[in-house]
Amino acid sequence: MFILRSIFVDPWPFWAGGIVIGLLVPLLYYYFNTALGVSTGYGNLVKIFLPAKNLQWIKTKYTETYSWRVYFIIGIILGGLLSAILSGNLGITTEMGRFTAIAGWPAVLNAVFFFVGGILLGLGARIAGGCTSGHSIHGIANLHISSILATIFFIIGGIITANIVRSLFLGGAW
């Protein structure tokens, strides 16, 4: 029972998550000859949810609307759901850690804040050619210089905005 509890209820130690995530890189190559990556699949979602079928980039790059990338995205959502169910944390919550606990903004402003951040993530990932999984995990594991550089600037950007948000809205608390 201890093992089941460690896997499904208690938070994992860093190395357990690292091992599972890291193993995805060779496993996806072995089974599908495909690189680990999530953000490219958001182009499929654009094609599904937004009027974008006439945009050249969508037309040429996303010929198959419901490709494996959409299934990967759905899988990750289901994985989060499964984790919440098994650990007994299932339910819709408006909490987002210290941000909602300390900033005390009305829900509409919180929504705008996370939405704007999401726009930067989506736009930035496409211009950079990948995200944390494609560049930082897959790319660096294959010692790609472009991925090492991209990751350095991911982290610089994150340090800048996280510290601005902390000092402006979270009272410097941590």
Partner 1 sequence: MDKKLGFLAFGILFGFALSRVGASDYDLIVGMFVGQDYKLVGVMATAIIVGALGMQVLKKFAQPVKSGEPLKISYKELKKWSIAGALLFGFGWGITGACPGTVLAQVGEGKLFGLFTFTGMICGTYIYARLKEKHPDL
Site for partner 1 in 132-171 (CB under 8 A): 132-147, 149-166
89 belongs to the binding site for partner 1 (CB under 8 A): yes
What is d(CA 35, CA 136) in angstroms, rounded to the nearest whole number? Answer: 12
18 belongs to the binding site for partner 1 (CB under 8 A): yes
Q: Which residues contact 171 (CB under 8 A, 6 or more apart)?
A: 102
Smallest separation (angstroms) from partner 1 to the CB of 4: 13
4 belongs to the binding site for partner 1 (CB under 8 A): no
Burial class (CB in 10 A: 0-12, 13-18, 19+), 109: exposed
Of the candidate residues 75, 104, 168, 171, the single one contacting partner 1 (CB under 8 A): 75
Over the window 29 to 58, marking each residue x when it contacts partner 1 by CB under 8 A and - when it does not, the resulting string is xxxxxxx--xx--xx-xx--xx-x--xxxx
Angle at the Cα of 118 from the Cα atoms of 163 and 167, rounded to 5 degrees: 15
Nearer to partner 1, 2 or 14 (CB): 14
For residue 91, the 8-state DSSP code is S
